[in-house]
Structure 1
Amino acid sequence: MKSNVTLKRTAGAALLAAIGAGMNAEVRAQSSVELYGLVGTYVASSKRADTPTATWLEGSGGLTTSYWGMRGTEDLGGNLKAVFTLESFFQPDTGGQGRNATDPFFARNAYLGLQGGFGQITFGRQTNPTYAVMQRLNPFGASVVFSPLVTQSFVATFGGAIVGDTVWNNAVRYETPDFGGFSGTAIYGFGEVPGHNGTANIGLHGFYSGGNLTAGVSLQRVRSGITAPIISQDAYLAGIGYDFKWAKLFATIEGTSTNGNDALTRTYQVGFSVPVTTSGSVLVDWARTTRNQPRTPYSIRNTASLGYDYFLSKRTDVYAIYMFDKLSTASTGSTFALGLRHKF
C-alpha cells in the first residue's frame, strides 16, 4: 500500500516537474536578456596641430569606446515585442565609469520601447542617428580618437563642427522596417522646459544597404540650450560606400549652419579599407573641414589616418595607427598608436 502511494507521489512530482520545465522553456522562448560589451585600450604618442608637444598616454577605447550593456526582448504576441537597452561607457585604463566625470551611468544608451511589423519606437537616452550613419560611412567607424570624420564632427579639441553629443537625452525615436535594404529613422528630443515647446532637437535619417552599396543621409537641428542664450544649429550629412571586394571606398560631405555665433562649416571625407589578408586590413581616411565665422580667423583643418587592423579571432583584434593633423591657424601634429580590442 505504501509503495503504491509512493509511486503515485513520484509520478505526480515527475508530472509537475515536466509541466514546470515546459513553462520555463516557454518563458525562455518568449523573453531573453543578453549581456555584452567591448574592452579597448591603446598606447600612443599623441599630438594635435594646436598642441605644443606630444603626450605619451594609455587611453581608453581607441577604435571603439569601451562599454558594456544589457538588452532584452519579450514576446507580447501578435508580432509585438517589448525591447530595452541599457549601456554604460567605462575607462579600462583607470577603471573609471563613463567617458568622463560628467557622464551618467548608462551614458551610451538607456531606452525602452516596442517593436513590431510597424518598425520600432523607443523612449529614453539614445545614440544620435547622425553619428550612427557616420560610423558606417568611414573606415575607422565610431572612433572618436582616430577617425578624421568623427573627430572633426564631434570632438571639441578637433573643433567639432556638430553641436551636441553623440547621444541625445529625453528622446523618442522611430525606426522603419527594412524595405529592400532601405530604412529610415526619425528622432525628437524633448526640451522639458515649460513654455518652450518646439525648441528641442530633431533629426531625420535614411540609410540604404544592398549588395555592394551603402548610402546614408542625415538632417538634424540641435539646440544647445532651451532658454537664452540659445545656440541653434542645422546640420546635414550625406555619404556613400562601395565594396569592390579588393577595397571598400567611402566618401561623405557634411555641413553645418549655427545661429548664435553665425558659424558655417563644410567637411569633406574620403577613405578606403583594403583587406590584405583574411584577418587584416589597411585603413586610410582623410577629412577636411573649413570654418567661416565672423570675428574669428577663417580656418581649414586637414586630418588623415593610416592604420592596420589585424583580427586574432572573431572577438579580438590588434591595430597600429598613424594620424596626421594640420590646422591652418596652427602647426602640424602627429600621433602614433598601438591598440587592442576584445568583444564579449
Structure 2
Amino acid sequence: MTIENNKAALAAAGALACLLCANAAAQSSVELYGLIGTYLGSVKRSGEPQAVTQLNGGGLTTSFLGLRGSEDLGSGNRIVWSLESFYRPDTGEQGRNATDPFWSRNAWVGVEGSFGRLTLGRQTNPMYQQMLQLSPFGTSVVFSPLATQSFVAAYGSNVLGDTVWNNVIRYTTPRVGGVRASIDYGPGEQAGRAGVANLGVHADYNDGPWSAAVSAQRLRVNILTPLPVEQKAWMAGVAYDFGPVKVYGNAGHAGIDGGNTSRLLDAGLSVPVGARGAILLESARTRLTPARGANTQRRTTSLGYDYRLSKRTDVYLIHTGDKKTGAGYAATNALGIRHAF
C-alpha cells in the first residue's frame, strides 16, 4: 500500500467514523477508540552484534485505532462488528510493518445472542489474546517473555503464524460459571485443497482471583502461504491474585511432524506498590529439540515498574535480559508511555 493510499484510507476511516457517530443514536451503537504508546530505549537480543538506541511505537501494547459497533435485532440478538488498524506513532506509518494490511488488528462482522457469538473475518488469535491475563506484561511483543518467545521471530517465533489470523470463522460460547470457549476455523482458500485450513480450540476461566486458559491450534497456512508441513501447538496457563501479589504460570509446546519441537515454561508476578504503581517480573525458558543435532535453550527475563498517571495513561521502566545457547547475555532497557482513548 502506497503512502498516498494510506492517507486516503485514513481520511476515509475518519469520515466514516464521523458519519457513523452522527447516525449512531438512531441506528446503532458505534465507538471510536484506540491506544497510542511509545518507548525510548536501548534494544539488544542475545546473538545480535550491537544494541540499537531507538524511539519506537507500541511497547507494552501495540498502538492501534479502532471502530466497533452493534445493532439490535430484537429477541436478544444483535449484529456486532470491529475494524482495527495497527499504526506506528514514531513514524506515523500504518501497520506494525510494511506488509500489514490496513485493518491489520481486526476486521470482522458477526451476530451475538444468548447462543453465544459467531464472527467472520480477520481476527486476533485467542492463543495470543489469552496472554493478556496470563502474563504480567500482557501481550507485549517487546517486553513479555511469554509473548516474545512464542510469536516474535527475533526470539525464535516458536508458534508459527501471526498473532492475527485471516479468513476466520469463529464461534464463542456464552460465559457459564466463569468458563468461555471458542473454536476457530480458517479455510486456506487453496483450489482443490479444501483440507488446507487452520483450526484452533480455546477456553478461558475467570472467577474472582482466579484466571486460567488453555489453547490448542493446528496451523496449515501461515498468513496467506500454505506450510509444507503443518504445525501443532498448545499452551496452558493460570494466574491467581493473592492481593499483595499476583502470580502467573504457563507451559507450552509446539511441534512440526518429523521436525523441530519446542517446550516453553514461564512464570511471573506483579506486586502493587501504593495505589498506582506495580512491580512486574517474568521469566520464560524455551527448549528447542531439533530433528537432528543438540538441544538449545533460550531464557528471557523482564523486570519493570509500571505507574498509572490516570485511569487511561501509564508510564513504565523495563529491563529485559535475553540469553540463548551459543550466544552472550543481551539487555534491553526502555522507558515508555501509553494512553488509551
TM-score by length of 1: 0.90
Which of 237, 240, 243 is equivalent to 1:242? 240
Give the partner amino acid of 1:325. Answer: D
Structure 1 counterpart SS, 2:193: coil
Determine if the alignment matches structure 1 residue 203 to structure 2 residue 200.
yes
Structure 2, unaligned runs of 5 or more? 1-21
Q: Distance in 1 between matches of 2:245 and 2:208?
A: 14
Contact 2:24 2:30 in 1 (8 A): no
Contact 1:60 1:66 in 2 (8 A): yes
Flag the 1:230–1:307 CA change in 2: closer, same or farther, 3 A.
same
Determine if the alignment matches structure 1 residue 61 to structure 2 residue 58.
yes
> Which residue does the alignment assign to 2:256?
258
Q: Distance in 2 between matches of 1:322 and 1:281?
A: 14
Structure 2 counterpart SS, 1:231: strand
Determine if the alignment matches structure 1 residue 182 to structure 2 residue 179.
yes
How do 1:156-175 residues align onto structure 2 when only pairs under 5 Å count? 156-175=153-172
Q: Give the number of equivalent residue pairs.
A: 319
Q: Distance in 1 between matches of 2:32 and 2:294?
A: 49
Task: Give, in angstroms, the shift of residue 132 of structure 1.
Answer: 1.0
Flag the 1:295–1:27 CA change in 2: closer, same or farther, 3 A.
closer
Which of 17, 32, 37 is equivalent to 1:35? 32
Flag the 1:304–1:295 CA change in 2: closer, same or farther, 3 A.
same
> Which residue does the alignment assign to 1:331?
328
How do 1:220-239 residues align onto structure 2 when only pairs under 5 Å count? 220-224=217-221, 230-239=228-237
Flag the 1:167–1:229 CA change in 2: closer, same or farther, 3 A.
closer
Q: 1:19-47: CA deviations, max 9, x gaps?
A: xxxxxx99727611000000000001111
Structure 2 counterpart SS, 1:82: strand
Flag the 1:243–1:30 CA change in 2: closer, same or farther, 3 A.
farther
Task: Give, in angstroms, the shift of residue 228 of structure 1.
Answer: 7.2
Work out which of the two has the higher radius of gyration on C-alpha atoms and give 1 or 2.
Answer: 1
Structure 2 counterpart SS, 1:136: helix
Give the partner amino acid of 1:293. Answer: P
Give the partner amino acid of 1:257. Answer: G
> Which residue does the alignment assign to 1:194?
191
Q: Distance in 2 between matches of 1:136 and 1:228?
A: 31
Q: 1:272-325: CA deviations, max 9, x gaps?
A: 000011101000000000001134542100000000000000011000000000
Determine if the alignment matches structure 1 residue 300 to structure 2 residue 297.
yes
Task: Give, in angstroms, the shift of residue 195 of structure 1.
Answer: 1.4
> Which residue does the alignment assign to 2:69?
72
Determine if the alignment matches structure 1 residue 129 to structure 2 residue 126.
yes
Flag the 1:253–1:198 CA change in 2: closer, same or farther, 3 A.
same
Structure 2 counterpart SS, 1:64: coil
Q: Distance in 2 between matches of 1:27 and 1:140?
A: 35
Which of 135, 140, 145 is equivalent to 2:142? 145
Task: Give, in angstroms, the shift of residue 332 of structure 1.
Answer: 1.1
Q: Distance in 1 between matches of 2:275 and 2:160?
A: 39
Task: Give, in angstroms, the shift of residue 134 of structure 1.
Answer: 2.0
Alpha-carbon RMSD = 1.7
Q: Distance in 1 between matches of 2:36 and 2:228?
A: 37
Contact 2:188 2:226 in 1 (8 A): no
Structure 2 counterpart SS, 1:149: helix
Give the partner amino acid of 1:280. Answer: G
Q: What percentage of residue pairs aligned between the two structures are identical?
A: 51
Which of 310, 314, 331 is equivalent to 2:311? 314
Q: Which of structure 1's runs of 4+ aligned residues deviate more than 4 A?
A: 225-229
Q: Distance in 2 between matches of 1:242 and 1:262?
A: 36
Structure 1 counterpart SS, 2:130: helix
Task: Give, in angstroms, the shift of residue 229 of structure 1.
Answer: 5.8
Q: Distance in 1 between matches of 2:332 and 2:156?
A: 17
> Which residue does the alignment assign to 2:282?
285
Give the partner amino acid of 1:220. Answer: Q
Give the partner amino acid of 1:232. Answer: E
Q: Distance in 1 between matches of 2:66 and 2:75?
A: 28
Contact 2:66 2:84 in 1 (8 A): yes
Task: Give, in angstroms, the shift of residue 198 of structure 1.
Answer: 2.1
Structure 1, unaligned runs of 5 or more? 1-24
TM-score by length of 2: 0.91
Q: Which moved more, 1:293-302 or 1:168-177?
A: 293-302
Structure 2 counterpart SS, 1:177: coil
